[in-house]
Structure 1
């Protein structure tokens, strides 16, 4: 049996109640994703997507979160996934090396509302989406940005909620895989120049659109290449479709507390620790050396980023931001951070180099060590892992605090309270208040 048929059979047959642990993990992922989407609502990329969606996908009653606007299935998914990915505050998965939540959760919510799904069905769809999407991403033999594999998870979540028959689901998975945006620019194969920041964001939002269309196409009789995943040169097929329902990938995602690429987090956390412990005056810093792994060095890392989103892909500029403006400069990132001469001056003092020992532990771990030289002294951090790893997951209270801090510039205190209250109701077993909040709470970026 083709691998996509085996995946489709798993999706169509999965109707077991979630364990308490999986249910809690799904609720935590929703809380984290809503915080990222609300904080990103005013970013340049989502603003442009909403404008384009109004022109091309406006018909429908599904909410474009926190705007008071509505759209059809694909338009809502596009807008909400774009907001979720905009600030790089969305969750990630180490073994897939990408971001499942920003793709899967907006799609699951749109389909759940369209199909009048129960809360348990919504949470099951999210778990199934992670299980399928992360499995395909992890099976690749080379690095591929999220948009090249997240569509499989979107198809899984949508197909689960729409009760799409297994044979149609198999074709939907194949269509999605063939239609996903070409992300080879930032993937493996012949090397492209270093990855720069852009509002495309690994194709997460647009690949979700193509995945949603794949489900609709397959249900209407469209076909895809069913042997798409059966290629040993591209995928590790052993175990790809085995053990579904037992991998529990949603319990192994990391969560972010800085609005930047994950490769920036370990240097930032190490740098912040040194500043706080030694009370170093940023104006006295002579140089900053970052020892890190190969993945971090694939970023553009421009001391002078080319616009808002490119900041999220620059270790030097992000270190300059948190040194001068404090740790909350990256929770959230705002357009006030763009083109700051004082930040550039400090960023130009940052050097990056490959540490073979740290690189040997990547991608299982993303570690860095930072050395600050100031006033004739050298301050060296320990080898540092970023906050929010699956091995030390944040608590529900930590994630509520993330929402409060990340959304402070777009949401009034009463609005943040209402959204958090709705998320707590989801955790208690009722997602209706959250649907209401997503549709009616209107955020206004400062």
Structure 2
């Protein structure tokens, strides 16, 4: 008998996972992902760039199986995953993972939607989230860096498998059914990053589309549809098609680790490689007396993947290109003193002369210094007109407080007492008999929005 194919091996790992196996840090991180996601979804519901997705789902008038956040209504579970996933990525503020990209927006909306649909407990939803992040991370260990180099959005490519896993766990799929769900989901694995160079708000839809496709794959597999079980390592499988190689050794080396523990929570609404730079800039601003008009040059030593992932954009044309521009984020921090989500949506700032004058002083260069090439790091060097040279090496970025971030994101959207209720419900997620209890306060009708 030949070696077990990867789809079956992954499905078997998922099938064997039990809540009692999960270390406390794993459970806590899953809860943080849920709270972070809910705050982002509520904030996203107010932004213009994801309203087409909201209107599309509302027009379907589908059976309200699962909550559509901040809409006063619901829809079928796969489309709740779709619209809530789009809301979660509306302002480039969701979580970051070295292998999985942005697992939260792909996995959590699907887990919550199918948790409601199947009347699952909080513990069952946590297991689904951990499993979905694990599958995305293991696959990403072998693909993420190569996909970035080729211009594929790794979180979108991998997201279909994370969502299929989360939905599959809650639907109670067998190992064979989940393996087939992976094979089915593979046909929807795609997503180019041309939006980085040419703009376009379609990027916001990627997580939602992955959630919908993966969830539908799980439903279809449960109903008997089959897919190619060699979807990952096969001659025309995901690994070869998106990276050019079917090297499974990187997956094997990363197998025995709960990857959800490595999820990072952004404190700025920017791409992860730019968040590292902003932390470096903040460090230098604390330690020296200087202002943005004193700056002659800003040199940024970035990992190779970040050179084509944010460093190339210098003239934003929409919110996506603004948030993907490392130089623009640096300029906002220096000139405006902050990096708020609303600033990236302001067309006036895209062409502000002061902001662009700083943008033009940013000089990125390749500086891979980490053993792990996907590591987030930056060498920040600032030369001032008076001759001073400032420098700092920043490895990784500082996580923001998830509770504080949630409260900031829902200010003016939820009454403070309701926000407190959601925080408490998520903190006790593992004790909830039904996850629907958590979703009820989030089904608020937007006409009841409180004043900021």
Same fold? TM cut 0.5: yes
Alignment of 1:174-193 (within 5 A): 174-180=183-189, 182-185=190-193
Q: Match of 1:189? A: none
Query: What's the TM-score once normalised by structure 2's chain length?
Result: 0.85
Query: What's the TM-score once normalised by structure 1's chain length?
Result: 0.86
Task: Say which of 66, 70, 93 aligns to 2:70.
Answer: 66
Q: CA RMSD in A?
A: 2.9
Q: Is the 8 A contact 2:276 2:395 kept in 1?
A: yes
Deviations 1:381-414 (A, max 9, x none): 31112424xxxx66xxx21112223444655544
Task: Say which of 162, 165, 186 aligns to 1:153.
Answer: 162
* Alpha-carbon spacing, 1:419–1:332, altered in 2? closer, same or farther (3 Å): farther
Task: Say which of 190, 193, 217 aligns to 1:214.
Answer: 217
Alpha-carbon deviation of 1:44? 3.0
Gaps of 5+ in 2: none
Alignment of 1:198-209 (within 5 A): 198-201=201-204, 203-209=206-212
Deviations 1:331-356 (A, max 9, x none): 56552365341454334333233243
Task: Say which of 377, 386, 389 aligns to 2:387.
Answer: 377
Alignment of 1:358-377 (within 5 A): 358=369, 361=371, 363-377=373-387
Aligned length: 429
User: 2:203 and 2:62 mapped to 1: Cα distance?
Assistant: 21
Q: Match of 1:272? A: 282
User: 2:316 and 2:372 mapped to 1: Cα distance?
Assistant: 26
Q: Structure 1 residue 84 and structure 2 residue 88: aligned?
A: yes
Question: Residue 428 of structure 2: SS of its match in structure 1?
Answer: helix
Question: Residue 228 of structure 2: SS of its match in structure 1?
Answer: coil
Question: Residue 353 of structure 1: SS of its match in structure 2?
Answer: strand
* Alpha-carbon spacing, 1:13–1:357, altered in 2? closer, same or farther (3 Å): closer
Alignment of 1:17-56 (within 5 A): 17=20, 18-56=22-60
Q: Structure 1 residue 346 and structure 2 residue 357: aligned?
A: yes
Alignment of 1:388-427 (within 5 A): 388=398, 398-408=401-411, 410-411=413-414, 413-426=416-429
Alpha-carbon deviation of 1:379? 3.7
Q: Match of 1:118? A: 121
Question: Residue 381 of structure 1: SS of its match in structure 2?
Answer: strand
Gaps of 5+ in 1: 187-191
